[in-house]
Amino acid sequence: MKPISFKNHHVNRFSKRPDWVRPAQNAPRKLVLFNKPFDVLPQFTDQAGRATLKDYISLTDIYAAGRLDRDSEGLLVLTNDGKLQAALTQPGKRTGKVYFVQVEGVPDDIVINALRTGVELKDGKTLPAGVEMVEEPQWLWPRNPPIRERRNIPTAWLKITLYEGRNRQVRRMTAHQGFPTLRLIRFSMGEYSLGDLQPGQWKEISNV
């Protein structure tokens, strides 16, 4: 694969940065890795009574570094450290985020190359990305509820590494190429990964 270049690349993003509350002076830094299940909101409160992080995580005063949509699964990093949040999410930092993506249909080399080099979306062309066809991950858990599969249409798995974080970017990229995303799991953000965390499990990282 050719080296990925980001020179002079500017995009507008849908999602707004979260409001951060500066930790109290001398307060210990907190860092939590959480395997967010499907149908859980990436926030601690919801007036509609839907499942949120509060149903799983007992710590307080931590905030999600970037979003992970309700219909997506996998790694959510939470912290009270604004600098760490910025390092993981700000576009200029170019932090790699790895996703395993099940799509409807089987993309050919032309589609894979288009996803790698950049897709022209309504908010501008996407940055170059790492994209490869892979087998279904052996560590993957069953989704509840299962995805809807059409009997006569095969599915395929892609490993996609993004260096930006637009609203529902992976889903929009694959749909633009004619291969709707059926299931999306974020595996890692920078140096942090799911490891052996199962859906709904979390762990606090010390020595941040």
Which residues are part of the catalytic machinery? 69
Give the phi and the psi of residue 109 in degrees, each rounded to 5: -65, -30
Measured distance CA(55)–CA(200) in Å, rounded: 9
Plot region of 54 (φ>0 → left; ψ -120 to 50 → alpha; else → beta) = alpha
> Alpha helix locations (H) across the chain?
82-89, 109-117, 169-176
Cβ neighbours of residue 119 closer than 8 Å, sequence gap 6 or more: 125, 126, 172, 173, 176, 177
Q: Among candidates 38, 12, 31, which has minimal Cα distance to 146?
A: 38
Q: What are phi and psi of 187, to 5 degrees?
A: -100, -35
